[in-house]
Amino acid sequence: MSESVAIALQAFEKVLDRRLTAALEVCARCGICAESCHYYVSTPDPAHVPAARAEQVRAFYRRRHDPIGRVLPWLAGAKDLTEERLDALQETAFASCTLCRRCTINCPFGVDTALIMRAARGMLTAAGKAPEMLVMLADAAIARGENADEFREIYREIVSGLEQEAQARIGDPSLRIPLDKKGADILYVGLSGAHTILPAAIIFHEAQASWTLSMFEASNYGLFLGDPSKAKAIATRLVDEAVALGVKDVVLTECGHAYAALRWEAPTWFGGEFPFRVRNIEEVIAEYIQGGRLTLDPSANPESITYHDSCNLGRNGGLLEAPRIVLRAAVQDFRELTPHGTDSLCCGGGGGLVAVPEWEEIRMRAGRRKAEQVREAGVPVVATSCENCNLQLTDLNAYYKLGVRVVGLMELVVNALVKAKERQGLPLAEAA
Amino acid sequence: MGVEPWMVIASAGVAGFGLARHLTGVLARPFRPERARPAGSPAAGVRYAFTTGMMPWAKESTRIHLLAYLRGIVFHAGIAAGLIGLGLALWDPGLPSAFRLLLSAALGAGALAGWAGFAARFAEPGLRALSTPDDYVSVALVSLFLTAGALAWWDARWMDAFLLLGAATLVAIPFTKIRHCFYYFFSRYFFGLFYGRRGVLGGAHHE
């Protein structure tokens, strides 16, 4: 047994808990899951059946843990893990599964194939076989957390520039983007790039929210690596910041995996609930709309608009209604995709695929069904509340020549907000 | 030489012992519950997982593969009838002929569904690619057991074959894929817990 195989198996045994054991044991290989996977639907290859994908892990699990697998491996479909099989697992776990759990919802046993694939990712990461780009991004995020003070001043300058942009957008010089504001109610966490900060700043300003901007970005590449120690190190930056500032809520920008990481996974890594709530910006906007804190004019978004549910926010995060509350208030003609909600098709950009350039062709092929679904909807605009989905849908739009515009929900809200104020003929701050 | 009841009882003992080993094996593994604040009810999710979530119309996959799913249901109902039939055969309470025929019909339907599933594994390339030898052996063994049961409750001359195949099936449970019947409860429980807690399934908006 090679050293990397030994390390990988050690990592596997470490995560082999009751839930993973059940997922590995229960599959009857009925194949009913096939069409639930966007890879299989786009390229009907038996290797893309979720059960077949998980068999790569089950084979060595049975070799190690099933008595018949040890004695009569051919009968049980048991195989030793070898260097070659570990290499083959790399593409399966990292490039051929977006961890969307559509197969889980559709499996009569509820087999959690994403859990199995995440265990495989953890093994590969431990063995040094994870995609370099994902490792680099995770390490860079950890390094930024460790050297936050070095970035603080330059970040402050950048944010000051953004503040002026936001003021100009709404014609209100009183708009502020606070940083390090102790006692604020909300710590808002964006992504690299102004597009996640500017609309949020306008929305918070208009809702007269007490907020402050995080020094860090919401994404967590440790989650994609299946490496809880790296994922925890990345999340620690936000947890420490939120605790130091004493905020009530950490509000994450439009990012599906960031929500999955901090809202659902991180409390388990830290061993308990946080002293603050973790929320997604769509939840907060929906609350502002329902509470009358934002006045929107949907005529600002007159085109027919459909919504793509991010798997991490919707099916796996429970945020199915909030984005729809936002859309119904912010756009004139909202139309659902078929299927949507818990049955929504993955766009093919999740699980870190968008970040790895060499997988572009794979994810374009995997997104074929989503592209067809958008085309069938016949609308000019597709909204989404996840950055990775947004990037993937934008790429699919170009690749399949869909002729649509892909937008974030916050952008639509800001359009509707500005229009409402214009209609009233009032400066935004006064009207609020 | 006839099949003695103790053989079946001993086989049931092997099955029980083997499944107990699986149970202790699972329970020896760590349980890592989610620590995040729930957004929904884990109990409602678990309820959903074992009830409405198993209905043929509840999932896109079972709507697409309705026949295969119904075939599976009939097969598993046949297995339940087979186990009942096995117990009754040992006890031999002198059942009315109408009941015997009913049992025979249930077992026969299960057997047909089992053999149909077996044939599908050979015939469908996708399913064949997915299958291990264990899949064929297990389905064939259980289908044989059900076939013998259907015949035995129709004509008692088949009873020895039924008891023998019943004993073999019982022994096979913990060692083959047949044990998925045991892990089903764990898997659906964790499924319900996960999606119930996250407010995705089992809530009012879903049902």
Cis peptide before A339 (omega within 30 of 0): yes
Residue B207 has pLDDT above 80, yes or no: no
Nearest CB to B62: which of A65, A75, A108?
A108
Residue B165 Cα, gap to closest chain A Cα (Å): 20
Please tell me which residue of chain B has the smallest CA distance to A46: B126
Is A139 buried (19+), middle (13-18) or exposed (0-12) by CB count in 10 A?
middle
Report which of A355, A281, A351, A361 is spatially closest to residue A323, judged by C-alpha positions.
Answer: A281
Please tell me which residue of chain A has the smallest CA distance to B120: A30
B54 touches chain A (CB under 8 A): yes
Tell me the C-alpha distance between A388 and A359, whole Å. Answer: 14
Give the CA count within 13 Å in the CB-facing half-sphere of A365.
12
Asked if B134's CB is within 8 angstroms of A68's CB, the reply is yes
DSSP letters of A44-85?
Answer: --GGGSHHHHHHHHHHHHHHHH-HHHHH-HHHHT-----HHH
Residue A18 Cα, gap to closest chain B Cα (Å): 5
Asked if A273's CB is within 8 angstroms of B35's CB, the reply is yes
Is B198 buried (19+), middle (13-18) or exposed (0-12) by CB count in 10 A?
buried
Please tell me which residue of chain B has the smallest CA distance to A27: B180
Residue A317 Cα, gap to closest chain B Cα (Å): 6
- Which tens digits make up the pLDDT trace of B169-205? 999 999 999 999 999 999 999 999 999 999 999 875 5
User: DSSP H helical segments within A246-306, as ranges?
Assistant: 256-259, 266-270, 281-290
Chain B residues touching A75 at Cβ < 8 A? 132-134, 137
Tell me phi and psi for residue A219, to 5 degrees: -65, 150
B96 touches chain A (CB under 8 A): no
Chain A residues touching B177 at Cβ < 8 A? 28-29
More confident residue, B36 or B93: B36
Buried b vs exposed e over B116-149: b needs ≥16 C-beta within 10 Å?
Answer: bbbebbeeeebbeebbbebbebbbebbbbbbbbb
Count residue pairs from A and B with Cβ separation < 8 A.
173
Query: What pLDDT tens digit does each residue of chain A (432 aa) get?
Result: 899 999 999 999 999 999 999 999 999 999 999 999 999 999 999 999 999 999 999 999 999 999 999 999 999 999 999 999 999 999 999 999 999 999 999 999 999 999 999 999 999 999 999 999 999 999 999 998 888 888 888 999 999 999 999 999 999 999 999 999 999 999 999 998 899 999 999 999 999 999 999 999 999 999 999 999 999 999 999 999 999 999 999 999 999 999 999 999 999 999 999 999 999 999 999 999 999 999 999 999 999 999 999 999 999 999 999 999 999 999 999 999 999 999 999 999 999 999 999 999 999 999 999 999 999 999 999 999 999 999 999 999 999 999 999 999 999 999 999 999 888 876 554 444
Residue B206 binned pLDDT confidence (cut-offs 50, 70, 90): low
Tell me the C-alpha distance between A110 and A107, whole Å. Answer: 5
**What tokens does A278 get?**
């973790």
Give the CA count within 13 Å in the CB-facing half-sphere of A247.
27
Interface test with B, best of A15, A16, A17, A18 (most B CBs within 10 A): A18
Tell me the C-alpha distance between A58 and A115, whole Å. Answer: 12
Q: What is the ipTM of this complex?
A: 0.95
Tell me the C-alpha distance between A355 and A141, whole Å. Answer: 14
Please tell me which residue of chain B has the smallest CA distance to A274: B36
Residue A173 Cα, gap to closest chain B Cα (Å): 38
Chain B residues touching A38 at Cβ < 8 A? none
Tell me phi and psi for residue B60, to 5 degrees: -60, -40
Q: What is residue A425's predicted lDDT score, i.e. its pLDDT?
A: 74
DSSP letters of A210-221?
Answer: -EEE-SS-S--H
Q: What is residue A432's predicted lDDT score, i.e. its pLDDT?
A: 42
B204 touches chain A (CB under 8 A): no
Q: What is residue A427's predicted lDDT score, i.e. its pLDDT?
A: 57
DSSP letters of B7-57?
Answer: HHHHHHHHHHHHHHHHHHHHHHS------SPPSS-HHHHHHHHHTGGGSTT
Neighbours of A10 (CB within 10 A): 12
> Per DSSP, what are the bridge partners of residue A278?
A250
Please tell me which residue of chain A has the smallest CA distance to B198: A318
B206 touches chain A (CB under 8 A): yes
Q: What is residue B1's predicted lDDT score, i.e. its pLDDT?
A: 53
Interface test with A, best of B19, B118, B179, B191 (most A CBs within 10 A): B191
Contact residues, A window 295-314, toward B, CB-based 8 Å cutoff: 314
Q: What is residue B4's predicted lDDT score, i.e. its pLDDT?
A: 82
B97 touches chain A (CB under 8 A): no
Nearest CB to A264: which of B29, B133, B198?
B198
A64 touches chain B (CB under 8 A): no
Residue A34 Cα, gap to closest chain B Cα (Å): 8
Chain A residues touching B37 at Cβ < 8 A? 267, 273, 277
Q: Running DSSP on this structure, what letter comes out for residue A128?
A: T
Chain B residues touching A51 at Cβ < 8 A? 130
In percent, the amount of chain B with pLDDT more than 90 equals: 89
Asked if A67's CB is within 8 angstroms of B133's CB, the reply is no
Nearest CB to A109: which of B35, B184, B195?
B184
Q: Running DSSP on this structure, what letter comes out for residue A34?
A: G
SS3 for A334? strand
Residue A25 Cα, gap to closest chain B Cα (Å): 7
Asked if A76's CB is within 8 angstroms of B134's CB, the reply is yes
Q: What is residue A273's predicted lDDT score, i.e. its pLDDT?
A: 94
Show the 3-state SS of A297-331. CHHHCCCEEEEECCCCCCCCCCCCCHHHHHHHHHC
Residue A137 Cα, gap to closest chain B Cα (Å): 26
Residue B3 binned pLDDT confidence (cut-offs 50, 70, 90): confident
